[in-house]
Amino acid sequence: MKQRWSIVAIAAVVAAVIWSWTAHSGAPPTADRLLLLVPDGTSLSDPKVNLWLDAASEEGLHLTPLHDSEFARPLFGHPAGAGVILPDSFHQQAGDLLISAVRRFVAGGGKLMLVYDAGTLSSQGKYAMARSRFSDLAGVDYGLYDTLKDKTIQWESVSGDSAHVRELGIPPGKYYPFDTAKSPASPGKADEVTLRRYKYGDVKYPSFVTSGTYSGQVLLHSPAGIAAGEHKYDQGSVLFVNLPLGYLKANTDGLLLHAFLKHFATHTLSLPYLLAVPDGIGGLILNWHVDSNAAIAPLREMKSWTLLQRQGPYSIHVTAGPDDAVFGDGEGFDIEHNRQSQELVLDYSRMGNQIGSHGGWIHDYFSHHVEKDPPADLEKFLSLNQNALQRETGRPVVEYSAPDGNQPQWVTTWLEAHGFIGYYFTGNTGMGPTQGYRDGLREGQNIWAFPILHLDRAAGFEEMKLGGYSDREILSWLEAVAEFTVGQHSARLIYFHPPGILPYKHVFLQWLETTARMKAEGRFRWYTMTELANFLNSRKQVVWKLSERDGAVSLEASHPRSLEHQAWCFPADRFSKPRIVSGSATVTNDQSGWNVVAGEGKYLQIETDLLVQ
């Protein structure tokens, strides 16, 4: 009888553990799940956790937060997951049990993404004796407080081999020079590129000074040492990212977190992912900023550019009031009284373009005051602008761009409360549409930031002229950006002012010849902010899971209305051609892998097989 009760007790414990695991993760284990380890006691709704979950969702990946003790529990083994992430800002003070568990996981063939400051403090909260306690896993010594003191962390520019930077999904212009592929380096010498910042040149990132010989593949480096690299550890491997990815994303620089998260999932682990553009077709948002009546003549001329008008649609944003710099100057676009302005807005709207709001009524005044005056004094200008454009077009105005990029948090809050779903943003440069974080907190629920792309320090054509960039380089960048979105199955935003584009008409039209050809081939599209924001909000309702048994893989997906236009990519080096089991979908193949595009219907099931590796 006693033995029987012992068996029952053990079974109860096992059942409780399984229940606890399911309750904490929100879903049973799936074959593609990434585990995000956080210390015991950390709320799984902590904003520092949520920003990783949001990033994974935007990249089309499954990421589950897990407390350290649940991962380290030796009696029941490690919870199922394709790979493990130790994020920055959480594990400076790591316990012996966690460190041992992580080592066993990797040594046994696991894949680990180790970020920045893990193990740099002792279990008692003091500086580690000589180096981070995770240095052996990283493949290089870091956290060298004993020897370097206050020079342990340095802020430096970050560079890398151009091939590795492109592999990370960083767009041309965000790294510079961007066209090294057209000008190969001399034999034996790598093409070095550097990450750049809009307007200011090299961007400085904090990283720990590293020491020792690194045996892995260096992805990024700085004068401080290894900024990112990947190496083998026993039977497994470690992607070490010596940059505070979570901190950066929390403060309007999320590109690197997204880049390394996707790299870990798709290159290290060869996981499938849900694409972030309709039908998996990459493309661009061309965002026009109409500041004043100086745009009237350019807009009239651009109506005759056949290549421009036959493509699109575009996002055209207007400052609509009668003045531009100061009240009474009469230099505004004046949508309510200027017949030319009215006709232009109506014509461009009828062509299918999305008319949006560019700031609040008076361009320069609003830009100069929006960050220092009380919001109550400026909200009226936002309303005036939105309402005037809606009356003129007869359509909702739900897109926004900030004059001179000045957009304090209160503006984003106001925009979402008044029906806006997308806005141009000068933070998070180089990224696709994202639900941004600022000062550690997410901005809005269903409104999307559309970060700008830039060529080195310049984004608008006026800036390119002032910066001395040649026509050849500008055209090369524009074409490279279009190809980037196609290859990445993603969307990016380029913006300009109509007066600034006129001197570059020949460059612009030559670029449009390229995009017209790509569009005709069915591999490129123009998007508006509205179209993509609506798609991405619908995409958040897709529920999908991946399961694997004996080498056979099944994907099941559902949506409360329709899965149509949702798409998944399966890396071809790991998966055979997917087969449609239930529902409607098409399967194509390109350099990214197998692309499965859903048709009409609420449910889809496909099957594929794991290839022998």
* 514 and 477 Cβ atoms separated by less than 8 Å: no
Q: What is the pLDDT of residue 606?
A: 97
User: Is residue 220 a part of any domain in this protein?
Assistant: yes
- Residues 365, 500, single domain; the answer is yes
Is residue 443 one of the residues assigned to a domain?
Answer: yes
Crossing angle between the packed helical segments 409-417 and 375-393, to the nearest 10 degrees: 40
Query: Nearest CA to 554 among 538, 540, 571, 575?
Result: 575
Q: Could you tell me the CATH number of the domain that includes residue 222?
A: 3.40.50.880
CATH number at residue 378: 3.20.20.370
The DSSP code for 561 is S
- Beta-carbon count within 10 A of 41 CB: 8
Tokens of 607: 């099957």
For the stretch 437-453, pLDDT in tens is 999 999 999 999 999 99
Rounded distance between C-alpha atoms, residue 95 and residue 491, angstroms = 42
β pairing state of 422-425 and 448-451: parallel
Are the CB atoms for 205 and 243 separated by under 8 Å?
yes
Q: What is the CATH number of the domain that holds 576?
A: 2.60.220.10
d(Cα 198, Cα 177) in Å, to the nearest integer? 14
353 domain residue, yes or no: yes
Residue where one domain finishes, among candidates 518, 535, 552: 535
> Which among 274, 306, 334 is the end of a domain?
274
Q: Are residues 224 and 81 in the same domain?
A: yes
Burial zone of 417 (CB within 10 Å; 0-12 exposed, 13-18 middle, 19+ buried): exposed
Asked if the bond preceding 177 is cis, omega within 30° of 0, the reply is: yes
In a domain, 1, yes or no: no
Give the pLDDT confidence of 481-514 residue by residue, as tens digits: 999 999 999 999 999 999 999 999 999 999 999 9
Q: Which residues contact 244 (CB under 8 A, 6 or more apart)?
A: 88, 89, 115, 116, 117, 206
* Per-residue pLDDT, 113: 98
pLDDT for the residue numbered 182: 47
How far CA 345 is from CA of 206, 388, 391, in Å, comes to: 46, 11, 11
Query: For residue 21, what is the DSSP state?
Result: H
> Cβ(454)–Cβ(429) under 8 Å?
yes
- Residues pairing with 452 in the sheet: 493
* pLDDT given for residue 544 in this prediction: 97
588 strand-pairing partners: 595
Report the alpha-carbon distance of residue 70 to residue 123 in Å, rounded.
18
> CA 287 to CA 325: how far, in whole Å?
22
What tens digit of pLDDT does each residue of 529-581 get?
999 999 999 999 999 999 999 889 999 999 999 999 999 999 999 999 999 99
Q: Is residue 219 included in any domain, yes or no?
A: yes
Q: Are residues 231 and 326 in the same domain?
A: no
In a domain, 323, yes or no: yes
Angle of helix 339-350 relative to helix 375-393, nearest 10 degrees? 70
pTM: 0.93
Label residue 592 by pLDDT band (50, 70, 90).
Answer: confident
Same domain, 248 and 395: no
CA distance 68 to 519: 48
Domain assignment present for residue 570? The answer is yes
Could you tell me what percent of the chain has a pLDDT over 90? 86
> pLDDT tens, 317-349?
999 999 999 999 999 999 999 999 999 999 999
550 and 530 within one domain: no
Check whether residue 355 and residue 443 sit in a common domain.
Answer: yes
Look up residue 141 and give its DSSP letter: B
Q: Does residue 170 sit within a domain? A: no
Given pLDDT bands bounded at 50, 70 and 90, which one contains residue 78? low
Whether residues 597 and 473 share a domain: the answer is no
**pLDDT-based confidence at residue 186 (cuts at 50, 70, 90):** very low
Say how many domains are in the chain. Answer: 3
pLDDT of residue 123: 66
> What is the rounded average pLDDT of the residues 243-260?
98
pLDDT at 211: 96
Integer Cα distance of 452 and 203 in angstroms = 16
Amino acid in position 352 = G
Query: Which pLDDT score, from 0 to 100, does residue 22 have?
Result: 40
Residue with tokens 């508006």: 528
- In this prediction, residue 613 carries a pLDDT of 57
Per DSSP, the three-state class of 586 is strand
Is residue 17 over pLDDT 60?
no
Residue range 383-406, pLDDT digits in tens: 999 999 999 999 999 999 999 999
481 shares its domain with 559? no
Kindly give the residue spans of alpha helices, DSSP state H, lying in 450-492: 461-467, 471-488
443 shares a domain with 592:
no
CA distance 273 to 283: 18
Residues 224 and 358 placed together within one structural domain of the fold: no
Q: How far apart are CA 355 and CA 287, in angstroms?
A: 10
Residue 136 shares a structural domain with residue 270: yes
Instruction: Report the sign of the C-alpha dihedral through residues 219, 487, 449, 314, in that order.
Output: positive
Q: E strands, 16-132, where?
A: 34-38, 63-67, 83-86, 111-115
Q: What average pLDDT score do residues 97-109 get?
A: 94
Domain that holds residue 366: 283-535
DSSP-derived letter for residue 78 is: P
Do residues 434 and 568 share a domain?
no
Domain end point (choices 246, 274, 302): 274
